[in-house]
Structure formats: C-alpha cells, structure tokens
Amino acid sequence: MIKYKLACKNCKNIFDSWFASSLEFERLKKLKHIDCHNCNSLNIEKSLMAPNILNSKSQKLKISENKKYLKVKNKIKKYQKFIKNNFKYVGDNFAYEARSIHYENKKNKLKGIYGKATIKEVNDLRDEGINTESFPWIDEKNN
C-alpha cells in the first residue's frame, strides 16, 4: 500500500489517499476514478514529496514515520481479520451486491458484505443512500 498526498488543481484541496501501488494510481487516474473530495474535479495531481535529504533529522523523521505506518498497518490487519470473519466476500461484485441487498431488502441476510469497488462506485452507492465504508486494504501477498 502507498499513501499519496493528492492535490486538486481546481480548488487547491490537498488530501491523502491509499493505493495498492504507484501503477494503480496511474491506472485509476487514467480511468478518471480519482476525483477531488471537495469539488469532484478530476484535475488531480500527486503533490510533490519533500526532497529526500539524508541528514540525521530527516532520518529520524523517516523512522518515526515508519513506526506510524506499522501501527496503522497492524490496525488495518486487525480490522481486515474482523471483516473476513464477519462479512461475506463478494469481490468485484461489491456494487451489485450492495444494491441488491439495499433494494431487495434482504433482511434474512445477516452477514454484511465486503469487496472491491472503485471510488466512483462507492460515491454512487452513497448518493443512493446505501451505507458504504471504504478503507485501505492490505494485500497479504505483498506483506
């Protein structure tokens, strides 16, 4: 997982977003799946990272950043475990399954679902009043 600081060229909003890899970022950007949380503009750029100056101060900063990242990662992994035990995995069909639960009112379905959805799909579901949470997912193969 990679966290990028993204900058909206339209309203100058800066926000953080997680991606599986830098390639994934490029792919989503090409597909116009990355938009500004503030004004929905698609004019999004990765904001420039601080230059990597190797002095002791920045090294220390890096180490504490890594520790923070590990803490976050452990939290995400705990969350993932909970979700895997309590929710049904629907893979790429997430948007479809979420809609069918919502519209067909499948009350007998005790388990929630989890799966993959694009930012646009999640936004669409929210617009339709379907409660959807997104969070970073760590692919176990990469860790």
Residues that bind Zn ion (CB under 5 A): 8, 10-11, 13, 36, 38-39, 41
Q: Which is nearer to Zn ion, 34 or 90 (CB)?
A: 34
The nearest distance, CB 37 to Zn ion, in angstroms, is: 8
- Alpha-carbon dihedral angle through residues 28, 87, 128, 11, given to the nearest 10 degrees: -40
Q: Which is nearer to Zn ion, 36 or 122 (CB)?
A: 36
Q: Which is nearer to Zn ion, 46 or 102 (CB)?
A: 46
Q: Which is nearer to Zn ion, 28 or 90 (CB)?
A: 28
The nearest distance, CB 42 to Zn ion, in angstroms, is: 10
- The answer to whether the beta carbons of residues 94 and 115 sit under 8 Å apart is yes
- The answer to whether the beta carbons of residues 94 and 132 sit under 8 Å apart is no
The nearest distance, CB 85 to Zn ion, in angstroms, is: 38
Question: Which helix H or strand E contains 28, and what residues bound it?
Answer: helix 22-30
* Reduced 3-state DSSP string for 44-89: EEECCCCCCCCCHHHHHHHHHHHHHHHHHHHHHHHHHHHHHHHEEE
The nearest distance, CB 108 to Zn ion, in angstroms, is: 42
Q: Give Cα 63 distance to the centre of its chain.
A: 24
Q: Which is nearer to Zn ion, 8 or 117 (CB)?
A: 8
The nearest distance, CB 136 to Zn ion, in angstroms, is: 22
